[in-house]
Amino acid sequence: MLGYSELYPCSNAYRSKVSLDGLWRFSFDADGVGKEKEWGRNGLASSCSMPVPSAFADLFTKEEERDYTGDFWYETEFYCPDDLQDRACFLRFGSITHRAAVYCNGQLVGEHEGGFLPVVCDITDVVKRGEANRLVVWANNELSEAALPCGSVKILASGRKLVKPYFDFFNYAGIQRSVYLLQIPKHAIVDYSVTYEIEEGRAKVNYEAAHTGDGDIWVSLYDQDGNLAASGEGAKGTLCVEGAHLWNVRNAYLYTIKLELKENGRVVDEYKDRIGIRTVKVEGEKILVNGKPVYLKGYGKHEDFEIMGRAFQWAVAKRDFECMKWNGANCFRTSHYPYAEEWYRMADEEGFLVIDEVAAVGMMRSFANFADAGKGKHTYFFETPTVPELKKNHMRQVEEMIQRDKNHPSVIAFSLFNEPETTSDGAAAYFKDIFAWARELDPQRRPLTGAMEKNSAPDKCRCYPLLDFICLNRYYGWYIAGGPEIEEAMELFAQEMKAWEEKKLHVPFVFTEFGADTLASEHKLPGVMWTQEYQDKYMEKTFEIMDRFPFVQGELAWNFADFQAQEGIMRVNGNKKGIFTRNRQPKNAAYVLKNRWEKMERNQ
């Protein structure tokens, strides 16, 4: 277990959570003087206001601010009431992109590497109760080959730093998720996990809880109507649920698990969560949820929206789920990083399946790797001296992701990479260790996978044997032989699929990406690349090939919506492969998918 609790914040009779979201103070620190001048202790020298949560990039009007690369600082004050003196006190940031140091009342209380997972700082000994407290955050959004996601930094002639992502999404940064002040009993529940066994209408819910102090754990499980379904005692045990309601694909049923910590018969802490009883397994060429095959239909997504960048917004998330339900989807991949926890909570409620991806993207040395990757060009990566440090970061983020997301019924698999180089000895050794590590961590032993680009071909890829189901990102008819050559592209696509078939792997394949950039404004009959008509045709032709191969058990189109990317000759103010526009209106292709997904025999 990690050194701190990743439990989602809650308030109840024993715990208090207070939001610190709002308008904070903010300063860029291009010369890196903040650390030297101890802004963490002394406060920011000068500042402007900055909303939290938000990325900073799209709030500004100057290029240097939008594209700012380097150190930046936040500051705010918070008040900690003195009526909970006996509680431990924590600050919890949903994420800070990409690395951070947190200072409370001048003292360093936490440091974190990785921009998409929680940062939790124990401030019990430094917080002042009944008074104002100063909170300062140092953050940095530089990219390197030693940290996830991968990239580099170029120093322009002006001396300004410019980030060079090896990936295809804008490097939004800042405090992009909510911040809470948490007050928790000194002896508290810090973690729990559940696993399930289902037999004929009966379910065994095996639980394990961790706590501080010497108390005893009591567990109760309530059904959706609030009736007690089962209860147990002890930090580890099994709850037997007669007539269990299963959590099913697009038909969710959630139980409430209540954990209580008792000392001398008195409750000292309580934590409640919503869980879904279901099993997930790969058997032969099928992905089974509750023993029944499911065909994955949906999208690779991004946390991306106008103005706020990657900040979580309930309203956008709600609209996304409504759009996905409208066209018959049942699944999405959190490409290319773990999303805000609220996404998974909503997926739990909606019965959506989630492939949860760690931010291991850009592991291929190329400025515009999507172009090289799409064509299958060989690139190298795993031979450099930064790899051991990268691997440590990768492993720690896999651990934090699994720890955070392990109890969501919606999470059916963990994806441990997107489109790395997979053909060298270095790649094979690197990923062998990453997969072995992840297999130790998940109490539910969910399938592990990774999304592979064209260069990870059947005759060259060294990493596919590690995957429980094989995820392919393929762009035949876009990066390969697009436009008038689409028939040839399809022939090449079919050839590659035959080569996979001949390997007789007997595992499911899921397409985790396929798509064509499409400007919502462009129409042409007959279609040409970038028009809506071409996107429709591309989708239909791609499906014709996928449907020939029964081991294909899922299709997640790239992308759910248009999204912001680094500017360049390949992108028109962002990546336009969205099936929906950036403001979540359907392109024609949304109806092509709707038509197909609603009719599918394997519809669930």
Q: State in angstroms the smallest separation of the CB of 456 from ligand CKX.
A: 11
Q: State in angstroms the smallest separation of the CB of 397 from ligand CKX.
A: 18
Q: State in angstroms the smallest separation of the CB of 172 from ligand CKX.
A: 14
Nearer to ligand CKX among residue 273 and residue 304 (C-beta): 304
Nearer to ligand CKX among residue 149 and residue 328 (C-beta): 149
Tokens of 253: 């049923």
**β-sheet with 179-185: strand ranges across:** 16-19, 179-185, 87-93, 119-122
Q: Which of these, 85, 273, 141, 192, lies nearest to 443 by C-alpha position?
A: 192
Q: Which of these, 361, 384, 477, lies nearest to 115 by C-alpha position?
A: 361
Q: What is the largest CA-CA distance in the chain?
A: 77
Q: Is 491 a catalytic residue?
A: no
DSSP H or E stretch at residue 374:
helix 369-375
Nearer to ligand CKX among residue 373 and residue 497 (C-beta): 373
**β-sheet with 107-113: strand ranges across:** 48-52, 22-29, 71-79, 132-140, 99-104, 107-113
Tokens of 30: 């291009």
DSSP β-ladder status, 107-113 and 99-104: antiparallel
- State in Å, rounded, how far the first CA of the chain is from the last one: 36
Nearer to ligand CKX among residue 270 and residue 419 (C-beta): 419
| CA pseudo-torsion sign 411, 292, 279, 469 | negative
Nearer to ligand CKX among residue 122 and residue 513 (C-beta): 513
Catalytic residue from among 75, 270, 400, 419: 419
For 306, 427, 451, 545, 585, the CA distances from 460, given in Å and listed in that order, are: 40, 12, 15, 22, 40
Q: Is 285 a catalytic residue?
A: no
Q: State in angstroms the smallest separation of the CB of 301 from ligand CKX.
A: 11
Binding residues for ligand CKX, rule: CB under 6 A, are 167-168, 336, 370, 373-374, 419, 453, 473, 475, 479, 513, 558, 575, 577
Q: State in angstroms the smallest separation of the CB of 399 from ligand CKX.
A: 24
Q: State in angstroms the smallest separation of the CB of 123 from ligand CKX.
A: 37
For 219, 248, 406, 570, the CA distances from 230, given in Å and listed in that order, are: 8, 20, 21, 56
Nearer to ligand CKX among residue 193 and residue 559 (C-beta): 559
Catalytic residue from among 6, 75, 341, 513: 513
Report the C-alpha gap between 203 and 196 in whole angstroms: 7
What positions carry a catalytic annotation? 419, 513
